[in-house]
Structure 1
Amino acid sequence: MPLRSAHRPAVPAAHRQRALLAALCVLCALCAPALSPGPARAEPIRLTVGVESIDYPPYGSFRNGDYEGFARDLLDSFAIEYGYTMAYVPLPVKRLYQEYLEGRSLDLKFPDSPTWHPSRRKGLQIAYSVPICSFTDGILVKPENVGKGMQVIKTLGILAGFEPWLLDPPIDSRTIRISENLTISGLLSKGIRGRVDGVYACVQAARHLLTTMGIRDKLVYDPSLPHVDGVYRLSSIRRPRVMRQFDEFMNTRSQLVNSLRRKHGLDR
């Protein structure tokens, strides 16, 4: 009986391609070194920022349960770029100093300056940022009292926790009565109603609020009275590395920082 030649059935091209692909995958798996999974992405570090629980535009204000203003925009921009999250902790000025300088419960403080309450800072290693924005602390009076000197000011209104003794030249605490208020808007109202003879405050913040209230000309800054020019800084006792990063941010992202100053009217 003659032998018949064996004929294999044709294998479809698609099947051949899938088989070849499977073989290549097996070969790669055998030849390639085992790959360990990459490290899990770290959660952003949470930083607590002590801020003043007062309405102090355009620098920073705590309104309707949220912190807003120039400082918020600036610090949020820094946090996004360096992988942090900011938790803003609003506190009355006096308690803010206590929690920050004594309790050490806060990572950062804004605004701050080494000249504020220097005796309470002795012995502390506090890192201060480069200057963030400038300010003028001075005395606002009624327009008719501009240029009349300190002799017309018997009672000076200040925000609770602020120190009018930093003014230059210093004012005489023995001849001037101090009247504290918890809010700058309440303080300005006292000045307009004549319950205090002058209001000691940040001139930029006072002008901003008076303009918002539609009464900018009711109280005016008298540059002939004692005043002080300075800069606001960010500071930290617990996070010196963060402060170095923040300085780097301020130096390398000057265009962004200046745009935020313009947005909040702090470039004038």
Structure 2
Amino acid sequence: MPQQSEHPRRCPVFSHAAARRRPLARCLLLGLLCLACVALLRPTPAPAEPIRLTVGVESIDYPPYGSFRNGDYEGFARDLLDSFAIEYGYVMIYVALPVKRLYQEFLETRTLDLKFPDSESWHRSRRKGLNVRYSEPVCTYTDGILVRPGDLGKGMGAIHTLGILAGFKPWLLEPPIDPKSIRLSENLSISGLLGKGLMGRVDGVYANVEVARHLLAAMGLEDKLVYDPDLPHASGFYRLSTIKFPLVMREFDEFMRTRRELVQSLRRKHGLDR
């Protein structure tokens, strides 16, 4: 007779129970797979659209601060504002306008969200009653009078006709200029204005000193017109401004404080670290 095994055979009852559990396990597994597929197929919420901000800028060649060339805005201001926008989730739309219209669009019709450059001392009468918010200083500027080297040191007595950029007024210069004692000659571009000075069609050119230096250097004429610090001039800070979005201004100030190294590197890049 065959030897009996030392281990008892599996009871048929247990085999049937195991067989019943296998379909149940399969069902549970299939259910979990279905739930996973549903979760994967469910559309994920689209990321929020970044807020678009319109920035009013001057439609003039104003290096190194900001220039509107070939339909695009470029320069220090563009690099700085784009860096801020990327970090805080904004998209900057640059709207280049002539200076006079820029003030109208920003202060009166208020179709612009931000303005650069700006200063609380410009067109004070037009700002009365408006809650314009200004950023902390972005960069310094000096507006002064450039003359031919032979006229350096001759004083205001030698300035009979002063060349200025259209939309700009020299009445903020210190000491003040008597508007009755001098003739103004306007030009739509600083390059054209400098050309008048170089040709002797005006006795002096009122301009941002850094901008004039950049443009003259680009023409290879850096020493042909020189800044006379003894003539009336004005210094201050360029700022970003807004009427509509004070929160953006607080964020921009925070950016300027926390990203000092980045801001300084942009100043160096554009020659504004002197």
TM above 0.5: yes
Instruction: Please point out which of 63, 68, 79 is paired with 2:69.
Output: 63
User: SS at 2:223's partner residue?
Assistant: helix
Mapping 1:63-102, distance limit 5 Å: 63-102=69-108
In the alignment, the residues of structure 2 paired with residue 21 and residue 86 of structure 1 have an alpha-carbon distance, to the nearest angstrom, of 56
Query: Which of 31, 34, 40 pairs up with 1:26?
Result: 31
User: Is residue 135 from structure 1 mapped to residue 168 from structure 2 by the alignment?
Assistant: no
- Give per-residue Cα distances to partners, 1:34-53, cap 9 Å, x unaligned: 99865431111110000000
- Counterpart residue number, 2:255: 249
One-letter amino acid of the counterpart of residue 51, structure 2: I
Bigger CA drift: 38-47 or 20-29? 20-29
**Where does residue 145 of structure 1 map in the other structure?**
151
Change (3 A) 1:196 1:38: same
Matches within 5 A, 1:1-268: 23-24=28-29, 26-27=31-32, 39-268=45-274
CA-atom RMSD in angstroms: 2.3
Larger radius of gyration: 2
Secondary structure at the aligned position of 1:211 is classed as helix
Q: TM-score, normalised by structure 1?
A: 0.88
Q: CA deviation at 1:22?
A: 7.3
Matched residue SS, 1:71: helix
- Structure 1 position 97, deviation (Å): 0.5
- Give 2:7's aligned residue: none
Please list every run of 5 or more consecutive structure 2 residues that lacks an aligned counterpart in the other structure.
Answer: 1-11, 16-21
Following the alignment from structure 1 to structure 2, what is the Cα–Cα distance between the partners of residues 216 and 177? 26
Hey, what's the Cα distance between the residues in 2 that align with 1:256 and 1:105? Answer: 31
- Does 35-44 or 46-55 show the bigger shift? 35-44
Counterpart secondary structure, 2:235: strand
Judged with a 3 Å threshold, the aligned counterparts in structure 2 of structure 1 residues 181 and 26 are, in CA distance, closer, same or farther, namely: same
- Shift of residue 23, structure 1, vs aligned partner: 3.5
Unaligned stretches of 5+ residues in structure 1? 1-5, 9-15
TM-score, normalised on structure 2? 0.87
CA distances 1:3-35 after superposition (whole Å, capped 9, x unpaired): xxx9x9xxxxxxx9xx978744625878xxx99
How far apart, CA to CA, are the structure 1 residues paired with 2:134 and 2:270? Answer: 23
Q: CA deviation at 1:194?
A: 0.6
1:187-234: CA deviation from partner (whole Å, max 9, x where unpaired): 000000011100000000000000001101110000000111111000
CA distance in 1 between counterparts of 2:100 and 2:272 reads 26
Find the aligned partners of 1:160 and 1:193 in 2 and give their Cα distance. 19
Moved over 6 A (4+): 19-22, 34-37
Q: Given residue 214 of structure 1, which amino acid in structure 2 is its aligned partner? A: G
Note closer, same or farther for the CA distance 1:179–1:28 as it changes in structure 2 (3 Å cut): same
Which letter maps to 2:227? Y
